[in-house]
Chain A
Amino acid sequence: MKSSYIIALVLILVSIGIFISASADVSTYATFGTAITSQSRVKIAGTLDKNKTMEYDPTVDADRFVFHMSDSDGVSNKVILQKPKPQDFERSEQIVLTGAMENDVFVADEILMKCPSKYKEEEIALRK
């Protein structure tokens, strides 16, 4: 048997091992409901709840932005983002938060936003 076959076999075994262990890094988007039950670090996708007020005062704490988000089940929950308020936050179409439930509040430390792209804007700027 060729030694390269042995190596190839080893690599295949290693890759199976890695894929199994990597699958632990993968999860589905949680909802606030599942986040409460699991109490672990999860990702939640949703949209900004525009009916509730936002709270951000950099003079008190620049890394604390409070808002409400509605998850895919339509449940709105208070969120504390431990980051400065992102630019164009109000315009976001979708928000993905990474964090965990602490009491009744979802405390997030990562945020990704999807904003409407410029192509979708059918606005033509007129000369002033």
Chain B
Amino acid sequence: MNEIEYLGEHLWVGTVGHLSIIMGFVASLFTAFTYYRCTQTRGTEPSDGWRTLGRIGWMVHSVCVFSLFGVILYAMSQYYYEYQYVQAHVSDDLPMRYILSAFWEGQEGSFMLWMIWHAVLGMFVWRRDYKWESPVLAVVVLINAVIFSMLLGLYVDFGDTVFKIGANPTLLLRNVLELPLFMNADYTSLITGNGLNPLLQNYWMTIHPPMLFLGFASTAFPFAFAIAGLWTGDHKGWLKPATNWSLFSAGVLGTGILMGAIWAYEALSFGGYWAWDPVENASLVPWMLLVAGVHTHLIARNSGYAIRSTYLFYILTFVFILYSTYLTRSGVLGETSVHAFTEMGLGYQLVFFVLFFLLLGIFLYIYRYKSIPAPEREENIKSREFWMFIGSLVLMFGGFLIISSTSLPVFNKIATYFNEDYIGRVIEDPIEHFNKFQLWIAVFISILSSVAIYLRYGSKQRKWSRITKHILIAAVIAAVLTYLLTFWISYKGAWQYTLLTFFGLFAMVANVDYIFTQTKNDIRLSSSAVAHFGFGAMMLGIITSGLNQSFISNNPFVFGESMDDVSRKRSIVLIKGEPLYSEGHFITWQSDTLIANMRHYDINFKKIDEERNVLEEWNLRPNAVYANDFSKISAFNPDTRHKWHEDIFTCILNLSPPMMSQEQLKEMEDTLVYNTYYANVGDTIRGLENDIVIERLSYEPSHPEYNPADNDFGVSLVTSFYNRESKKDSTVETSLGLRGPLVYKYPEKIESFGVRVRPADTLMNMIFPIETDLVYIPYKTTLGSSFTVDGTTIELVELNNKPAKTSYKPEDGDIAIEARLKVTRNGISYPATPTYVIRGNIPMSIKHYIPQTGTHIRFSNIDPINETFGFKVAQQSTELPPLAIEVAEKVTRSDLLLLEAKIFPGINIFWSGTIMMMMGLLMAWLLRVFYKSDRDRKQKKES
């Protein structure tokens, strides 16, 4: 078979991309090796040579990372569909602003994003830490080598089984799929892409992944420093340069997770910010371990204790980041997660990724265990480090609890290896399960993060009385606030929630007190208090917005088999234009508008008091997103009204089936039963539920979808309906259009009467008779003269050799002359323009029909000698026959939507709390990097 010479492919993209992957992989391994040698030979002369080589390798690897990113992004922005990755993620109609989102929608794209951050962050180590450059970057570049291997796309035979190493994002579509389409050399001009999932088409998808992956990538640095410390045996030296990295990483990773929560709350239909979904848990656990590590790190720097645990925390943080990658990308979570993640078939490779770095870390840790300094003094239970350490253990403990429950599918998978009949275990009610245990973790953290701040490092402690005074005052204030809050929110009668609220408030009060009474205006000391205050506020926010969320939408009409579960009915059905009362509100679906691929629904809320006075009124606009080809609605987006003390969240859950997809609309149309009625204008037809009157016949349809330019002829029936039950009436206009030989119908509906109406097919024949039924009589006339046919006067006004009639479609070589006529009947004149055409020596006449006068006119010949013009005219009776109309009644309404409306009280407390936690971490980092206190300057001068 001959190779097909394909047209329109841009093969250089694949060449550059693939080269970047291979070179990048090799360069990463090379750099890891040279930096390894540089570290091993440290202090000797060859070390500098290795360092230079390492730096060159690092630069090459970075260039490869960026060029790979660049070419793929370029191919996406140019819609090069010959590439499988481009075809899978963009489409012709995808706006340019979503190109980045489309880039990291796929796993390959997110791997690239991850590598880029490693490459960028690594430059800072190079710039700032000469001593730690080689061991730290050796580890980081090794991580990038493993990620590069995920993109290699190699197939390796191991006996009978073939292992796939990586998935290459630069493959051509025709190399991935076998389709007859590729027999066509010009296939690229035929195909378009699948496009970005409409759910992900919002700006969160543009900003959330880079932030989260910056968080992921940054955890590699505390890890790399820890490995470097173990490797070089300098167990104390790495602590100082690594502090900034771990603070930065904890702040950024936390912000990334938080942005995910805001995204879920603001733009997705979940109706909440945290659902203990495995994917959420998988990123939360490394963050908890990292925060535990940050605390032991501070202990280590201030007291020399806890270096061992700091090592462990940083190793585990990174390993759990990798583990989360495994969980979310290997498909192992299966049906336990709502996140629709795609599988790349790289499960084994991901397991290798996790185990490799786990074993590397654990091996080095055990190898160096004895040499890690661990002071043998009795710890002072009155010291700050003791309680900080306990806090870190509690955090780790909480993290382990979460990850073990989340890992059930992994245990199940392992168990089935050993026993094929093993039946997998699941958690029955995950949200309750997690809340039940994490509540206690939160209580302990609240206590520790407020009591421990009053203590000092080491054994020189203040008197207990001074500490207890602060603690007692904070506790009393917190207790009073806990009580006062009951006027606003409820603890649902559960002492656990009351307790959590109390300790949340206690943490807030104590940390405020700490900032004002203990920090002595040293801003660096207050960053921890900001974070701890934020934690307390977050707990309070969870109680107000989570425990106390309530539904405005409460289905009052619930029937069914299970009456005891009424509380679960949390949605209401709205009928367009009809206000519905629910939980103190009148809710009305007023209108809806289609903008681009979203339909926006205007929902009006009126809050009323007992006397039905309107207290407050507002509008919300949730929307429905159509699939890229408009065949169905693929997602709903919520809209939220933000008030300072609460949010009102609204989301559409469902529409009536015919509005959800074309397929269901057609299905419904097919089941409708239309009755055909014949009636004269003004007669009353007695329908099943309505009295129907055809008010008039119009030759200028005003149906919104009817476009005169596309049609040769149109007619519409203005029809009124009187609903006998509701005693209301309504008038609609339903139309027919003739386009060439095709008849188009423009049906109408009155949802509230359950009515669908359309003109009958025969109507077109009545108004526009079949040509063969007509009797034409020839006439001759001259320019400016007129003649009369059955009471209709026809005057030839002028001739025009450039006809513009819609039914005349010019072809090359045509000679066409249009007669401009003035046709008068009963004193009313209409213009008419029949056309005479000679096409290839054959004369043709294109007729003009004036429905109002019932006159059909053909321009039949031209006598140039006598200057006479022949017309053939058929004049119908102007008496209209009874008109045919088709009506379907008792039709199920399709203007329904299912709405959820929720109140989140005090959700801003939750958001401010979480934001302050991240701010506290990032503040600590920024102050260390940029702010030098007087004491620091003095110290620097002395040294």
Contacts and interface: CB of A to CB of B under 8 A. Distances in A.
B573 A62 contact: yes
Contacts of B343: 117, 119
A4 B389 contact: yes
A45 interface: yes
A82 B654 contact: no
Given A85-B654, A109-B568, A112-B336, A28 B557 contact: no
Interface string B331-343: 0001110101011
A117 B340 contact: yes
A87 B197 CA distance: 15
B560 A125 contact: no
Contacts, number: 154
A122 B177 CA distance: 8
A117 B342 contact: yes
A83 to B, nearest CB: 8
A62 B425 contact: no
A20 interface: no
A2 B190 contact: no
A112 B88 CA distance: 26
Interface stretch (B639-647, B818-826, B878-886, B890-898): B890-898
B936 interface: no
Given A61-B557, A62-B571, A96-B335, A126 B191 contact: yes
A45 B562 CA distance: 21
B231 to A, nearest CB: 28
Contacts of A39: none
Contacts of B87: 124
Contact of A114 (B88, B179, B334, B629): B334
A73 interface: no
Contact of A119 (B181, B342, B629): B342
Interface in A1-48: 2-4, 7-8, 11, 15, 18-19, 22, 25-29, 41-43, 45
Contacts of A59: 573, 892-893, 896
Contacts of A96: 335, 426
A26 B397 contact: no
Interface residues of B, number: 72
Given A4-B386, A62-B555, A84-B898, A105 B428 contact: no
Interface string B642-670: 00000000000110110010000000000
Nearest to B635: A87
Contact of B559 (A26, A56, A61): A61
Interface size class of A (residues with CB under 8 A): 35 or more
A107 interface: yes
Interface string B412-446: 00000000000111111100110001000000000
B515 interface: no
Contacts of B88: 118-119
A25 B898 CA distance: 33
A33 to B, nearest CB: 14
B390 A7 contact: yes
Contacts of B173: 124
B660 A87 contact: yes
Given A59-B573, A87-B634, A124-B173, A25 B429 contact: yes
A74 interface: no
A113 B335 CA distance: 7
A81 to B, nearest CB: 11
Contacts of A2: 378-379
A61 B555 contact: yes
Interface string A81-117: 0111101000000101010001101010100111101
A28 B424 contact: yes
A102 B561 CA distance: 8
B109 to A, nearest CB: 14
Given A58-B898, A61-B557, A82-B562, A43 B336 contact: no
Interface string A46-58: 0000000000111
Given A94-B335, A98-B429, A61 B437 contact: no
Contact of A125 (B191, B336, B571): B191
Given A2-B379, A82-B569, A125 B194 contact: yes
A84 B428 CA distance: 21
Interface string B372-397: 00000011010000100110011001
A127 B88 CA distance: 14
Contacts of B381: 3
Interface string B189-207: 1111110010000000000
A64 interface: yes
A125 B562 contact: no
Given A58-B573, A59-B896, A118-B88, A27 B177 contact: no
B558 interface: yes
Given A57-B892, A98-B428, A115-B340, 15 more contacts: A3-B381, A11-B394, A11-B397, A15-B397, A42-B428, A59-B896, A63-B571, A84-B898, A96-B335, A96-B426, A102-B561, A109-B568, A118-B342, A122-B179, A127-B191
11 contacts: A3-B381, A11-B397, A22-B401, A22-B433, A28-B425, A41-B428, A62-B572, A102-B562, A107-B561, A127-B190, A127-B192
